[in-house]
Amino acid sequence: MSQPTYTGGQVLTDGIEGLKKRKFTLIGMTFFIYCACAGGAFGIESMIPAAGPGLTLLLLILIPILWGMPIGLYSSELSNLAPVESGPYVWMKMAFGEFWGFSMGWWLILANYLTGASYVVLAVGYFGKFFALTPTVAFILKAAIIIIFTAINLKGLREVSVVSNIFCILILLAFAAVTFVGFANWNYSPVDPFMPPGEGVASSWGTGIAIGIWMYCGYIAISFLGGEIENPQILPKGMKLAIVIITLSYVLPTMAGVASVGQWESWGSDISGQTIDYASVLTLNIGKAAGLAFMAIAIIAQCAIFNAAIAAASRSFMVLAEDNLCPKFLSKLTKNSKVPLWPIVILGCLNLILVNLNFEILVTILSPLLFVLYVGLGFAFVKLRRKYPVEKRGDLYYVKGGKLAEIYICGGPLILGIIGFLVNGTEYFLLGFIAIVSAIIFYIIFKWIYGGFYKRDAQAYPLNPKTKLAKGDLGRFGYFLLLFGVVAFLGSFFLVWYEGSWGPEYYLATYGSGIMSNFWGMISIARWSGVIMLVIGIILVFIGKKVDPMND
C-alpha cells in the first residue's frame, strides 16, 4: 500500500466525530499527568528495605532520566503529530500496521481495564487501617467510590480535570508536610546503608529497578485523550513539569522520612499497620491525628489515580471500534458531554466485580505488558520520524537532538524494560506471556467478525481469501512468535542464574501449591514454550513468504 506524501503539519486530525475538545491550562495538564502517573509516593516504602535507602534515592533520580523522561518526550512529540484518542494504538498502527497496532491496543486494554480496581481496593484498605470494616461495609465503600468516579467521567473531561487538580494539590501538600517534618527532625543518615547488608548487587539493583519503574509509569495516559485536547502544544510543557514534580515528590519525602524515623528495614506499604510508612513520620513526630490526616490523603491519592485511570481506559476501545477491530457500539458518545458511554459504563460494572477478587495473579499476568508497551512505543516513535520527518513539521513540537535523541529515547526504556521484565519474578515472566500471546488470538477473532481495515478500504488493505486475514499476517504472526520465543527461551536461563539459588524455597513458601510454587516447573514451561514459539514462528514466516507475502 502506497503512503501519501507528507507535506507537514499534524496528521489524523479528523479523529472520532463528535468528541468535545477542551483547552487545558499548564497547571491542569501537569496535575492530570501527576495523578495518572504518581498520585503520591505510595509504593516506594517497599523499595527502601529491598534496595537499601541509599540505592533507593539514587534510583529515584536515575529512573526518571532513563525511563520517565524518554517516555514523556515521545508521548509529547507523537501527541502533537497525531492528537487522537487512544494515541498509543494509533501511533503503533501508523508505524507498523494493523496487527501490531491491534496488539498494542489490546495490551493497553488488558492493563487498563483489569487493574484499575486495585486502586479502589487500596483506598478502602487504607480506610480499614483505622476503622474496622465488615466485608459488606467494605464492598459498599468500594461500590460508592466506583459509582462516584464513573459518574464524574460521564460528565466529561473538564470535570475529570477539576477533580484531578483538587486531589493533586492535597496530595502534594501532604507530602510537603512529610518532607518538612522529616527534615526538621533529622536523626539518621538517609543513605546508610547504601544497599542491604548481605544482599547481592544484582538482587538489590534488580528489585529496586523493578519497583522504581512502576513508580514512573503512566506517562502515556494523557495520550489516550489526544482527540479531546484543544491545545496539544501544552502537553510537552506539562509533561516536563510533571516529571520534575513527581521526582521531587518521591525523593524529598523519602529522604526526609528515613532521616527522621530511620528503621529502613521496617519500611513497607503493607496496609495492615505492621510497617513504617510516610504516615509514621507525622505520627511519631506530631501525633496520631496528623497520621490519620495523612492516611485520608492516601485514600484521596488512590481515588485520584482511579479517576484518571477511568478517563484513559475508557478511550481504549473507541478507535479500535472505528477501525472495525471490536464491537462498533463501544465508540458511541454521550449526547451532552460527548464522552464514550459504554466503555465507561462497562468499566464501572467490571470494577464492581474485580474489587472482590484477589489481584495477585491478575497483576502477575498483566505487569510485563507495560514493559513491552513502553519499549514498543519507543520504536514506533523512531519509525514515525522516518515517515513524517521532523524537518517538515513546522511549528509542531518535536524532540531536538536528532539521532542522539532517538538513541536516548529508545535506549533508556529498552535497557530498563528488559531488566524490569526479567527481574520482576519468574511467575511474572511466565504468566505474562499469556497476556502477550492473547493479542494474536483476539486479533484473529475480531478480524474475522468485524473485518478490520479491509472493511474501511478493501483496496488499500486486501484480505488473503484463504485465511480471511490481512495479506501478510501469517508472516507477522511468525515474527511475533520469534520475538517473544527468543525472550522466553533466553529469559529462562537468566532466571536460573538470577533466582536459582533461592527461588525454589521462595516460591514454595510464597504460594504453597500450584504451578507458581514450583520454580523449576515454571522454568521448564518458559523454556519449552520459547522453543515451541520459535518453531511455530519459523514455520509461519516460511509459509508466509511462500503463500502470504506482506504488502507493506
First to last CA, the chain: 6
Assign 13 to helix, strand or coil: coil
- Torsion sign over Cα 308, 309, 315, 316: positive
What pLDDT, on the 0 to 100 scale, is given for residue 364? 59
Instruction: Determine if the pTM surpasses 0.75.
Output: yes
Q: Which of 201-215, 357-371, 375-389 has the lowest mean pLDDT?
A: 357-371
**Domain definitions of the chain by residue range:** 26-424, 425-552
Q: Look at residue 57 and tell me whether its pLDDT is greater than 90.
A: yes
Amino acid, res. 345: V
DSSP 86: T
Average pLDDT over residues 57-71: 93
469 membership: H or E segment, kind and range:
strand 469-470
Using only C-alpha atoms, what is the Rg of the chain?
A: 23
Average pLDDT over residues 257-282: 84
What pLDDT, on the 0 to 100 scale, is given for residue 370? 80
What pLDDT, on the 0 to 100 scale, is given for residue 486? 96
What pLDDT, on the 0 to 100 scale, is given for residue 19? 63
Which cell is 239 given?
509533561
Q: Which of 2-16, 168-182, 220-234 has the lowest mean pLDDT?
A: 2-16
User: Do the Cβ atoms of 486 and 530 come closer than 8 Å?
Assistant: yes
What pLDDT, on the 0 to 100 scale, is given for residue 362? 61
What pLDDT, on the 0 to 100 scale, is given for residue 288? 87
Per cent of the chain over pLDDT 90 is 41
Q: Look at residue 3 and tell me whether its pLDDT is greater than 80.
A: no
Average pLDDT over the chain reads 86
**Taking the mean position of all CA atoms in its chain, how far away is CA 391?**
31
Instruction: Dump pLDDT digits (tens) for 407-428.
Output: 999 999 999 888 888 887 888 8
Which cell is 23 given?
483547552
With helix as H, strand as E and coil as C, how does 276-312 read?
ECHHHHHHHHCCHHHHHHHHHHHHHHHHHHHHHHHHH
What pLDDT, on the 0 to 100 scale, is given for residue 387? 92
Average pLDDT over residues 386-398: 90
Q: Which residue has the higher pLDDT, 54 or 21?
A: 54
Instruction: Dump pLDDT digits (tens) for 104-115.
Output: 999 988 887 877
Nearest to 473 by CA among 401, 541, 412: 541
User: Do the Cβ atoms of 228 and 28 come closer than 8 Å?
Assistant: no
* Four-way CATH pick for 26-424: 1.20.1740.10, 3.40.50.300, 3.40.640.10, 3.30.160.100: 1.20.1740.10
* pLDDT-derived band at 251, boundaries 50, 70, 90: very high
Nearest to 443 by CA among 157, 106, 14: 106
Average pLDDT over residues 279-290: 90
What pLDDT, on the 0 to 100 scale, is given for residue 273? 60
Report the distance separating Cα 352 and Cα 139, nearest Å.
9
Residue 463 dihedral angles phi and psi, to the nearest 5°: -95, 155
Number of neighbouring beta carbons within 10 Å of residue 437: 16
Assign 46 to helix, strand or coil: helix
Q: Which residues, 6+ apart, have CB-to-CB distance to 338 below 8 Å?
A: 18, 19, 20, 156
Report the distance separating Cα 452 and Cα 60, nearest Å.
42
Instruction: Dump pLDDT digits (tens) for 40-49.
Output: 788 888 889 9
Instruction: Dump pLDDT digits (tens) for 511-548.
Output: 888 888 999 999 999 999 999 999 999 999 999 998 88
Q: Look at residue 16 and tell me whether its pLDDT is greater than 70.
A: no
Kindly report the CA angle at 109 between 105 and 111, in degrees rounded to 5?
Answer: 115
Assign 459 to helix, strand or coil: coil
Report the distance separating Cα 519 and Cα 510, nearest Å.
11
User: What are the residue ranges of helices labelled H in 185-227?
Assistant: 201-215
What's the count of helices (H) and strands (E) in the chain, helices before strands?
22, 2
What pLDDT, on the 0 to 100 scale, is given for residue 423? 82
Instruction: Dump pLDDT digits (tens) for 131-161.
Output: 788 889 989 999 999 999 898 888 876 776 7
Assign 331 to helix, strand or coil: helix
Instruction: Dump pLDDT digits (tens) for 160-172.
Output: 677 778 888 888 8
Report the distance separating Cα 519 and Cα 509, nearest Å.
11
Report the distance separating Cα 405 and Cα 162, nearest Å.
34
Which cell is 431 given?
504468566
Per cent of the chain over pLDDT 70 is 94
Number of neighbouring beta carbons within 10 Å of residue 7: 7
What pLDDT, on the 0 to 100 scale, is given for residue 494? 93
User: What are the residue ranges of helices labelled H in 424-472?
Assistant: 426-450, 453-456
